[in-house]
Amino acid sequence: MTERPVFQTVDPATGEPGRRYEGHTPDEALQIARASRAAFDGWRATSFAERGRLMRAAAQVLRDRQAEFAELMCAEMGKTLADGRAEVEKCAGACDHFAEHAEAFLADEDVSFGDAKAKVAYRPLGAVLAVMPWNFPFWQVFRFAAPTLMAGNAGVLKHASNVPGCALAIEDVFKAAGFPADVFRTVLIPASGVEALIADPAVAAVSLTGSVEAGRKVAAQAGAALKKCVLELGGSDAYLVLDDADIEAAARTAAQARMVNAGQSCIAGKRFIVLASVREAFERALVREMEGYIMGDPRADGTKLGPLVRVADRDGVHDQVQRSVAAGARLLTGGEIPNRPGAWYPATVLAGVKTGMAAYDEEVFGPVAAVIEAADETEAVRIANDSEFGLGSGVLTGDLARGERLATDALEAGMSFVNQNVRSDVRLPFGGIKHSGYGRELARFGIHEFVNIKSVVVAKASSADRTE
């Protein structure tokens, strides 16, 4: 008999073990996926009105249990309660948005086709597998699930191994909302079990949010099975700080961009490329802003910086800082592991960062800002694009037309914001280029990823076929 995997949670704030969860065997996981595929046959026939009613009910469940789910995220991956509550509300908003707009996004489109009637129709594919990460354990699932289910697909969630409680809670949201049995299911399996699910005929397509390494593996597995996948991978987002920027405001935006979710975000600002004439002033202002993010109890009101997800991850961030300093970077603040249990790391600023340093070449998944000097705008753009990643980017400037030009035409990224920090929003497509992945989530572009975009042509009746 196959042994069941066990998932042990650990509180990142204390290092103390939390709840243990018994997982699914490989056979059970396959049976769950097949049950979802069977449920799809009935779900695809439901009206948009019925799907929307249930999706709005899911939004209400999220709001009713907001405090419970925020505490669950805090216990499993260290998110502050304030951020957790905001994340749950964002999920509810996504449910409402797609409940309202899915039918219009997926409406048949007539095509002029001579003597025949022609249209493009959007129809669901089947059961879609979502392989999701821990850093936004509710949001990254719902931004997949809300459009995917509203399109008429079923969903199977394989969540990160350190947030099993969140994974099961999300399944329960859809159950409590009244969705038909098996339309959305969670499988508690290790990463090694994903390949068998992708290969099984029950799974029609795959969505993954995670590391570049995980993306390569899933893309290869999906390719071998000739199944579509959408990949949202890492990022090393660059922000240009131009010589006409309001330096205090730019530093405030930069710190907000860097410190979202304790820096554990693919779209967090990581590299701040500053024109030489304002570099010293920006460094001083950025240090002041970053030092305002003081480590504190993630369950306490007002805490701006909680722990990182795991001690091993914290140690990896610290190693990147140390290697950068050893290679010549200047440590302006932070950079020391505190003497306390848990996965704590302070807000940190590195200056004088150059190519060949970890803070320049690698994604730093923690509260570490890297300041890179550029001689002029042309060099700043070159440095920003000198990365394997292309997820988000930003321009901080006093000239909005200049910022829009650079954001639109110069920066190699899937998203570019001027004088704001990059963030996901249901109204805008979300995704990247280069090693940040391919495909899009959210907006009408995201709901189109997992449908059959189908051409339908109907010949007009000839005169001989007509009846009086």
Residues identified as active-site: 232, 266
Q: Are 52 and 99 in contact (CB under 8 A)?
A: yes
C-beta of residue 7 within 8 angstroms of C-beta of residue 23:
yes
Q: How crowded is the C-beta side of 111, counted as CA atoms within 13 Å?
A: 12
Edge-to-edge strand order for the sheet containing 269-275? Answer: 330-333, 348-351, 368-374, 269-275, 237-241, 393-396, 417-418
Spatial separation of the C-alpha atoms in residues 422 and 404, rounded to whole Å: 14
Place of tokens 């990160």: 160
Nearest to 403 by CA among 236, 281, 243: 243
Write out the H or E segment, with its range, that includes residue 274.
Answer: strand 269-275
- Region for 342 from its dihedrals, namely left if φ exceeds 0, alpha if ψ lies in -120 to 50, beta otherwise: left
**Three-class secondary structure of residue 12 per DSSP:** coil
Q: How far apart are CA 31 and CA 430, in angstroms?
A: 32
- Between CA 319 and CA 325 the distance in angstroms is 10
| H or E element, residue 27 | helix 26-43
Conformation bin of residue 429: beta by default, left when phi > 0, alpha when psi is -120 to 50: beta
User: How far are the Cα atoms of 12, 234, 279, 371, 398 from residue 383, in angstroms, in the given order?
Assistant: 35, 18, 15, 12, 21
DSSP structure string for 280-330: HHHHHHHHHHHTTS-B--TTSTT--B---S-HHHHHHHHHHHHHHHHTT-E
Please list the residues that pair with 459 across neighbouring strands: 116
Structure tokens at 81: 């309660």
Residues sharing a CB contact under 8 Å with residue 191, sequence separation 6 or more, in sequence order: 161, 214
Residue 394 pairs in a beta bridge with 239, 417
